[in-house]
Structure 1
Amino acid sequence: MSTTLTTPGIGTFAFRPLDPLADAELIHPWVTHPKAAFWLMQDAKLQDVEREYMAIAAAEHHDAFLGLHDGEPAFLMERYDPSKVELVGLYDALPGDVGMHFLVAPSDTPVHGFTRAVITAVMRELFADPATARVVVEPDVRNTAVHALNAAVGFVPEREIAKPEKNALLSFCTRAQFEAAMGGAA
């Protein structure tokens, strides 16, 4: 993984594997920030963040990446196999399904369109792998902001599902749906 993607007026995005020990201090304030309430780590200590991302790094079917904006850390992306983790038994996985989570770092100086540019870059990165046929997400049903972002890049909600930690809106985005949402320029 690591394509470099440029969004006019926003900047360049790239991805690198998250290093749980080296990056934990950086991402700890991101995942515990009030705006990250749906990340479900509000009360996490630094060691909890290290432990969580060490477990992801060791997992065969789950990966975490640090997203860079113009070379600076700006967001997290997780990619997982929904037939093996997160959604096992909650839907019928298809070959080529890839699960995704993303989180934008909090900012004192928000840039209009930045979060949409991030999710677009995340989707382009996932679809850069020819084996990815469909991206699967399961955001909290109350997270209306992310539902709007998901719709903007082509996600179509299927149904609510009950996960142990939340009620989620199971949604899918095929390569064709993403390309259509991007005006054919994906």
Structure 2
Amino acid sequence: MKLRGKIAIITGAGKGIGREAALAAAAEGATVVAVARTQSDLDETVALIEEAGGTAISLSRDLTAADQVQSMVDTVVEKYGRIDILVNNAGGYPSEIYDKVKQQAIKIWEWSEAQWDQIIKTNLKIPFLCINKVVPVMIRQGSGDIVSVSSRMGRIASQMGAYAVAKGGIITLTKTTA
């Protein structure tokens, strides 16, 4: 139980990698704060954690909005008094864009501004906002750990345009924060 007594915020915890990170953190003894947009997905994650004997709460938030991120932080600090771990996992690729990229590469000049903004907001703005709001808490308490999930697309040039740029941005954001 390496994480016993730790408070861990896991974003994108409703499914996929985020859910698995939440389950793993809980299995190691952390109290998990599972965060995502879809409450039904979060309910399932929390139920899985509790069935395995862990402790978790869910917070449904739109993490692309700074006030929602601040609300998340305030809620956690109010309830637990600290934030020990932040796992920046929220992100993704809208299916309508992903389906198009799977069929044929989209050149960077073929992306619409709206598509670009959506991908950057979902995949790079969220980790920035979470770091921006959580790090001051960690500094005040004298400790904390942040894990930011990226993708191999962030390390190689690809035809996934804004997604690759955002994931590369997460790598640089993490290095800059450290």
The structure whose residues are more often strand, as a share, is 1
Q: TM-score, normalised by structure 2?
A: 0.31
